[in-house]
Amino acid sequence: MAVREINFDGIVGPSHNYAGLSLGNLASASNAGEVSYPRAAALQGLGKMRHNMALGLAQGFLLPLPRPNDPFLAAIAADGSEDRRLMAAAWSASSMWTANAATVSPAADTADRRCHLTAANLVTMPHRSQEWGDTARQLRTAFADPAHFAVHDAVPPCFGDEGAANHMRMAAAHDAPGLELFVYGKGGGAYPARQHEQASRAVARLHRLDPARTLFIEQNPEAIAAGAFHNDVVAVANERVLFIHEQAFADPAATYSAIRAALPEAEIVVVPADAVSLSDAIRSYLFNAQLLTLPSGEMGLVIPLEAWEHPRVHGWLDAMLASNGPIRRVLPVDVRQSMANGGGPACLRLRVVADPATVDPRFMLDDAKASRIEQVIAAHWPEAIAPGQIGDPALAGIVVAARAALLDAVDLAELA
Ligand code: SUG
């Protein structure tokens, strides 16, 4: 069995827009009201997928969810008198950020040796809380083989869960037993702490993880206050390497020793605040990167162009490459449309360690399928959406038809 890491990127949906819905997400707030470019956004996403496939990596995708979300609008009896933000919530293409779709524990970590996925309830943000039901349905289609996968419903909504964005896994190799790191926040600051400790603990139990190889770590409240609304804005892990900002965790020293005790081969690359401040890290999205093991065995860091173009961050990356560290390549990609809503390369993907042959092949990408999807996007995705168009019935028709055309093109009309 060829177990490897597969990245499932969310295809950017045709209603992608900038509604400023995410308090504490500085990019979402600062671009509120801008014109969005859904076609360019979706093509940038496909461009990243192609970039990573060309590196020799396994690539899958998840589909946009049905938007506008008519059942949600019916449930709140929307009649035009409701807050405009609720209409925007029903139109959000936020399911593109599949790092928030679910938490994933590979088979090597679980008691029943199956890969477990728990859909994330995303209850802190009204627009994101609408995702999990349709997401779980899609995950059950993609990972339908019960010999290899178990897909769980979201944990109860009293405990906010943001999925893989607040979870990391370290291991000697992808297919070896790993150490799972669950990172939660505590409320009380200016911005919401989206991940509740009890949600993390519930997911770990659902996945039947070994307590000796599971850590629960508190996020630094200062990082949340600086705009790290998810842990993956200040840290990313891959195999034995953790790449992290000095101020990501509430108690970094104790956490690093716990990691080293559980995984002696761990290498922790800490970026000090005097080289890259929390503010620079969040503005540039340096850590919202894909840290990937390339076929050569070297590790590469897929970063957003914004990080490469940031002088202090660029300087730090040059120094890192010149040193003899574990990260050997830096690979910038253009995902600017997603970035403007606070979604970098890492937000756009859900990592699943599994044998690709056990996944429904309709969710796996190759060059021919990427071309087919790009053709659908070019033909059907709106070129631009201005804020005043949200709620427009004619645009709703275009958005619904665009998604239907995509589902047909990848033979997944059953998810209509
Ligand atoms: O949940 N932005 C998303 C970005 C998610 C990024 N994901 C990770 N860090 N893994 C969010 O805040 C903005 C939508 C708007 O304002 O229109 C938004 O939902």
Q: How crowded is residue 379: how many other Cβ atoms within 10 Å of its Cβ?
A: 11
> Which pLDDT value is given to residue 119?
98
* Distance in angstroms (rounded) separating the CA atoms of residues 88 and 111: 42
Report pLDDT for 378: 98
> Dihedral sign, CA of 145, 174, 199, 24?
negative
Residue 290 has pLDDT above 60, yes or no: yes
Q: Which of 98, 231, 341, 389 to mutate to test the pocket of ligand 1 (most atoms within 8 A of CB)?
A: 341
Q: Phi-psi category of 216—alpha, beta or left, where left has phi over 0 and alpha has psi -120 to 50?
A: beta
Question: Residue of the nearest CA to atom 14 in ligand 1?
Answer: 21
Residue 19 has pLDDT above 90, yes or no: yes
Q: Is 188 left (phi over 0), alpha (psi -120 to 50) or beta?
A: left
Task: For 58-108, give the DSSP string.
Answer: EEEEEPPPPSS-HHHHHHTT-SS-S-HHHHHHHH--GGG-GGGTEEEE-GG
SS3 state of residue 209: strand
User: What is the tens place of the pLDDT at every residue in 127-165?
Assistant: 999 999 999 999 999 999 999 999 999 999 999 999 999
0.95 surpassed by pTM = yes
Please give the number of the atom of ligand 1 that sits closest to the Cα of 127: 19
Question: CA 32, 34, 40, 42: dihedral to nearest 10 degrees?
Answer: 20
Distance between Cα 360 and ligand 1 center (Å): 27
Q: Which amino acid is at 61?
A: F
**Mean pLDDT of the 383-395 span:** 97
Query: Best mutation site among 62, 229, 232, 287 for ligand 1, i.e. most ligand atoms within 8 A of its Cβ?
Result: 229
Residue 176: which of 106, 85, 251 has the closest Cα?
A: 106
CA of 259 to the centre of ligand 1 (A): 29
The answer, yes or no, to whether any atom of ligand 1 lies below 6 A from the CB of 232, is: yes
Give nearest CA residue, ligand 1 atom 8: 347
- The arithmetic mean of pLDDT across residues 288-315, rounded, is 98
Question: In the β-sheet with 58-62, what is the strand arrangement from edge to edge?
Answer: 58-62, 4-10, 349-354
- Non-local (6+) Cβ contacts of 344 within 8 A are 233, 285, 288, 289, 303, 304, 306, 335, 338
Assess contact for 229 and 166: CB atoms under 8 A. Answer: no
Mean pLDDT of 77-103: 97
CA of 129 to the centre of ligand 1 (A): 12
Residue ranges in 23-62 assigned as alpha helix (H): 26-30, 38-54
Mean pLDDT of all residues in the chain?
Answer: 97
**What is the SS3 assignment for 12?**
coil
Other CB atoms within 10 Å distance of the CB of residue 250: 18
The structure tokens listed for 277 are 């401040």
| CATH number of 4-415, picked from 3.40.47.40, 3.40.50.620, 3.30.540.10, 3.75.10.20 | 3.75.10.20
CA–CA distance, 4 with 328 (Å, rounded to integer): 20
The model's pLDDT over 196-241, given as tens digits with 9 standing for 90+, comes to 999 999 999 999 999 999 999 999 999 999 999 999 999 999 999 9
Q: What is the pLDDT of residue 1?
A: 57
Max Cα–Cα distance, the chain, nearest Å: 61
Give the Å distance between the CA of 26 and the centre of ligand 1: 10
| 330 C-beta closer than 6 A to ligand 1 | no
Sketch the domain layout of the chain as residue ranges: 4-415
Compute the distance from residue 63 Cα to the ligand 1 centre, in Å.
17
The answer to whether the CB of 343 is under 6 A from ligand 1 is yes
Which residue's C-alpha comes closest to atom 5 of ligand 1? Answer: 343
Kindly report, residue by residue over 31-72, the tens digit of the pLDDT.
Answer: 999 999 999 999 999 999 999 999 999 999 999 999 999 999
Does residue 337 register a pLDDT over 60? Answer: yes
Our answer on whether the CB atom of 19 is closer than 6 Å to any ligand 1 atom is yes
Q: What is the residue-wise DSSP string for 183-203?
A: EE--S-SSS-----HHHHHHH
State residue 188's pLDDT score.
Answer: 85
Residues classed as catalytic? 162, 230, 347
